[in-house]
A and B are shown apart, each in its own frame.
Chain A
Amino acid sequence: MSALAEPLDLGPLLDALRGVKWPARERVRAGLPGTHRAAQRGTTGEFTEFRAYRQGDDPRRIDWRLLARSDRAYVRITDERAWWPTWILVDASASMAFPAESVTRRGSGVADARDKWEMTRAVATGLAAVAHATGDPVGLWVASRPDGRRLPPRTRRGTVHAIASALNAVTPSHDAPLAPLLSRVPVGVRVVLITDGLGDDDATLSAVARAGAAGSDVTLVHVVHPFEIEPPAGVWRMVDPELSQVQRAFGTTSRAEYTATFGAWRAEFARRCLAAGARHLEVVCTEEPARAVRRIASSAVRSSA
């Protein structure tokens, strides 16, 4: 990959995501008015029920027509809607820079596949756009070396572009753990982790479990490249970009064993995510980013339904 990735073309992506809703699957904490059903009940939102008047209620909330019909005093109860801050945590370790050009030249049949970092940028930007369109503050935190980039959640105009610009300025390199970032994200918010799971997966999943227990809604987007599922033909000496001491000779005789081992690991990773209380979605780099974003957003709807 080049030092600075080519900027994303936001136009087609944002157009494809117009009208996509990303509702919360549970009642959110009370906060500033938003679009998500809040756990707190109030009097200014959508009418939900009548309650008998109690000492101390505001008399102006008494429904006079019901009083006239029933000769009993009732107050109107409504659901409050609040906004839901969304944090997008992005893994920018060296493994996210796959595949390199040398691998792309040798591969076949996956000419249209984006590299993992490009897919990550597109999905992150798309999710930010969807959340921002519903009025939720969106923030970004990139786990990168030497310094992680952090954009606190905002609802102002230009937030999506700022997130896109911040991602364009990052080059995946080194190993950048996600768990410390997740531990510092406020609780009770929506968190999206976009990672390939090849870094500190144990620590990350532990942090995911703690965040879920604390009330945060965590979604883990697992980015996988087709070459990782089916390596290119030939004889290679594979070297882990984050762990240089891990080197393997790969050829025809080891292909079947690799495919089985990697597939088993992916299934196990998904199971562990679910066990930690997070939603797990696998995104292959051949998928359209807009479609992946819709799938992520709709998974919340299905879960809530």
Chain B
Amino acid sequence: MTAAYPWVLWGTLFAALAVVAAHLLSISRPPVLSFPTARFAPERTVPSVSRASRPTDVLLMVLRMFAVICAGVAFAGVTFDQSRESVVTLIAVDDMVAADTAVLRRSIGEVVRDAQRDNTPVVGIVSTSGATPMDGLWDAETIATAPINAITGSALTDNNPQRVNTRDPVALSALLLRARRAAPQFASRADSVRLVVLTPARGALREVSDEALRAVRQVWPGRITRRDVALASPSAYVNRARDVVNVRGANDDIVRAAYARWGDLPAVRTRVVRDSLGAADSLAAVNGEAVVDWVARGASNAAAPISKTPTRAVTAVVANGVALVAPLRREKPLLVDSAHHAIVWWIDGAPAAVERHVGAGCIRVVGFAPPAGDALLSVSARGALAALVAKCGAGVASSFATGALTLQDSLARSQQDSILTGNGGLAASRELRASLPGVLSPLTRWLLVAAVALIGIETALSRTRGGSPS
């Protein structure tokens, strides 16, 4: 048996006890005594409340109790669906850090076994690298039947081209975003989803991972468990992406997370400015850096949005043959002239990002704010992200007509990626919990009918008996 609102059951219990208690109390008139000196007593009313040794009117009490219980169980959304679990587990693996692969696999196996023992089966695994098969996440049956090494090894191979060693904490934020996006599809088969995060932690890295988790805990309705795995030798760290693309912004900036996620993009030394350009930025551009002015307005925090419905229209920007479909808003108009040429386009052909040569480098201005949610972490965003960190002047030859795919192809790709990007909105906390079905279940209907019938019988009976139980 599962209940959508277990607290309603507790309230029902207390209400039933209150009905019994009310039938044990009686407000009665005081006993009459023949007293010759009654005239000397002051005239005033003195009611008395006494405790009855036995419940008064047992039949009425039973009817009221059962009416309360039937109504309470009905409103608690009690179901007896054997196929529905109470809690399922979603594992989030932070494989962007160079942890010992064998240890990581072993940790995943331990989590799977613990979850099965706790009757909270694992229904999926997400990783920071996104190395899960695109046709779907692993389901619990696969995890339960296949050898653990085979399951975990296929995703965590050392020759994964997308896997980049980084210590950037935004990678964990990206992982949590992916987990949050994956959770709603499992909420339909369970009452709630528990998140288990496997992330290496050593020294300062634990602090930054705690910071990322703290933000998610505020919005994740279920339980979050963190398990630590061993790290490989620190010398294995390669901060390639961090050395090349420098994002100046908040630690949880989504652009920062995107470039950490897609650290394999071919890039030159690029400075992505999320606040406002300064003289130092202009000087850097003159000295050969690519400076990207990417407006920070709009929801750029990876963990904050919990609204399911985006407030912007879904549109697309195109670059390098890839269209990013997401709720985007045109923040500033951009012009293309002899000095400025477009490197990213809107779906209608208007420039979405322009580049201007300055000295040995260039300054790129992006006309849209990063989309809400984790759209920038999807594969579809690689095109636009790569165009913004490419060599200055590399996008001069490309154009909307020559570089963009058809809209249908773009939408098809975005649908493939919808599991991880969706429409830009993140899962609402409500999606991770069971909700009452739109149509009342048969059990709920019968319980409500029974409650109404019992109330009717009780009303008729109490009227014939004079109303109050006392």
Contacts and interface: CB of A to CB of B under 8 A. Distances in A.
Interface in A98-146: 98, 100, 102-103, 106
Contact of A103 (B30, B35, B40, B41): B35
Contacts of A267: none
A103 B33 contact: yes
Interface in A230-288: 231, 234-243, 246-251, 253-254, 257-258, 261-262, 265
B46 A251 contact: yes
A207 to B, nearest CB: 21
A176 B48 CA distance: 35
Contact of B38 (A100, A235, A240, A265): A240
A253 B37 contact: no
Nearest to A116: B36
B37 to A, nearest CB: 5
B463 interface: no
**Interface SS, A side:** mixed
A86 interface: no
B53 interface: no
B34 A239 contact: yes
A68 B39 CA distance: 76
B34 A262 contact: no
Contacts of A257: 41-42
B46 A103 contact: no
A228 B33 contact: no
Contacts of B45: 249
**Interface SS, B side:** loop
Contacts of B30: 234-237, 249-251
A231 B29 CA distance: 18
A231 B34 CA distance: 12
Given A228-B37, A241-B36, A262-B37, A235 B48 contact: yes
B349 to A, nearest CB: 91
Interface string B247-291: 000000000000000000000000000000000000000000000
B36 A196 contact: yes
A239 B44 contact: no
A237 B34 contact: no
Contact of A246 (B33, B38, B46, B48): B38
Contacts of A234: 30-31
A242 B36 CA distance: 7
A159 interface: no
Given A249-B45, A253-B46, A239 B33 contact: yes
B43 interface: yes
B41 A258 contact: yes
Interface in B46-78: 46, 48
A95 interface: yes
A254 B37 CA distance: 13
27 contacts: A102-B33, A102-B34, A103-B35, A198-B36, A228-B36, A228-B37, A236-B30, A237-B30, A238-B32, A238-B37, A240-B36, A240-B39, A241-B34, A241-B35, A242-B36, A246-B38, A246-B39, A248-B38, A248-B43, A249-B41, A249-B44, A249-B46, A250-B30, A251-B30, A251-B48, A258-B42, A261-B40
Given A238-B33, A240-B36, 14 more contacts: A100-B34, A106-B33, A228-B36, A228-B37, A231-B35, A240-B34, A240-B39, A249-B44, A250-B41, A251-B48, A254-B41, A257-B42, A262-B37, A262-B40
6 closest Cβ contacts across the A-B interface? A95-B36, A238-B38, A248-B41, A238-B35, A251-B46, A249-B46
